Amino acid sequence: MALPIPVAAQIAVDRMDIVFEPAVAGSRAGVITLTNEGAKAVEAQVRLEDWDRAEDGTNRWYPLGTLPGSCGRLVQVFPASVLLEPGASQTVRVTLDSAAGPVPAGERWCAAVVETVQPRVVRGRAVNYLLRTAVKLYLLPRELPADGEVAELTLRPHPSAHADSVDLVFENTGGRHLTARGSLEFRRGDNVVAARADLPALYALPGARSRARVAVPMLPAGRYVVLAILDYGGAELAAAQIEYEVP
């Protein structure tokens, strides 16, 4: 249901992710702080869920234990429910469960999802909105390789002038989650950069892909080389190139 009414989150969450490194002392637990920024008392539920990302960056959610990369059986959340008065804060502790068995060799992930129910009256009817804020949890059992590549770099011509776009797909070929940042350079035949376009941040779990589409800037007529350069935090940069011609 889409309604033209704003819904403000009462519960503020102080962080976006937690990284557990069992081999590092003091890195087997994390704390999430919840704060009630509203004018009424509110109850928040905290549950663990699995997640991944589509190529366009959209988060997808699954019941805990659904995905092979889930770390859910190794993580505990306490407390799972909190009641906060206006202006009050409460910490939720997320820990690795030492009794859950051995830590896997590869990276695992899940999320601690904070849920609150926000009641509203719309056209005389009571409507409850379920608001969800996720803190992503990553389990890094050891030093894992950071490797990635530009898997695809293609041109999407458009019927109207100066409206072409470049599609780029970054693939995580390493063992840990990555964030790649970079740009497209449009170089003339003499290797001079005629224009540059920044790429959005590309997030990819191990073995996953992330896709971005960037509009081609206005360029004088001529032949160009489109060079994509991405820094994902590894030992090398990821790069690819294609040719492009402006009539």
Find the range with the poorest average confidence among 4-13, 32-41, 81-90, 232-241: 4-13
pLDDT at position 162 over 80? no
Please tell me the pTM assigned to this model: 0.86
Residue 2, pLDDT score: 41
Question: What stretches of the chain adopt beta strand conformation (E)?
Answer: 11-13, 17-20, 29-36, 42-53, 59-62, 75-78, 81-84, 89-96, 108-122, 125-139, 148-156, 165-172, 178-187, 193-198, 202-204, 209-215, 222-231, 238-246
Q: What is the mean pLDDT of residues 93-101?
A: 85
Q: Smallest Cα–Cα separation from 225: which of 128, 129, 153?
A: 153
Mean pLDDT score across all residues of the chain = 90
Least confident of 50-54, 64-68, 117-121: 117-121
Do residues 153 and 147 lie in contact, with contact meaning Cβ atoms separated by under 8 Å?
Answer: no
Instruction: Return the pLDDT at 6.
Output: 47
Question: How far is residue 106 from each of residues 28, 30, 84, 145, 234, measured CA to CA in Å?
Answer: 16, 20, 38, 10, 17
pLDDT greater than 70 at residue 106: yes
Name the residue with tokens 């740009």: 183
Q: What confidence category does residue 4 fall into, taking pLDDT thresholds of 50, 70 and 90?
A: very low
Domains of the chain as residue ranges with CATH: 11-139 (2.60.40.10), 148-246 (2.60.40.10)
> pLDDT class for 9, splitting at 50, 70, 90?
low
Q: What is the DSSP letter of 72?
A: G
Question: What DSSP string runs through 75-92?
Answer: EEEE-SEEEE-TT-EEEE
* Interior/surface letters 76-98, b for 16+ CB within 10 angstroms, e for the rest: bbeeeebebeeeeeeebebebee
Give the tens place of pLDDT for each residue, 56-93.
999 999 999 999 999 999 999 999 999 999 999 999 99
The sign of the CA dihedral 154, 160, 162, 163 is negative
Is the pLDDT at 209 greater than 80? The verdict is yes
Q: Tokens 């403000």 appear where?
A: 8
DSSP structural state of residue 70: B
More confident call, 125 vs 94: 94
pLDDT tier, 7 (very low <50, low <70, confident <90, very high otherwise): very low
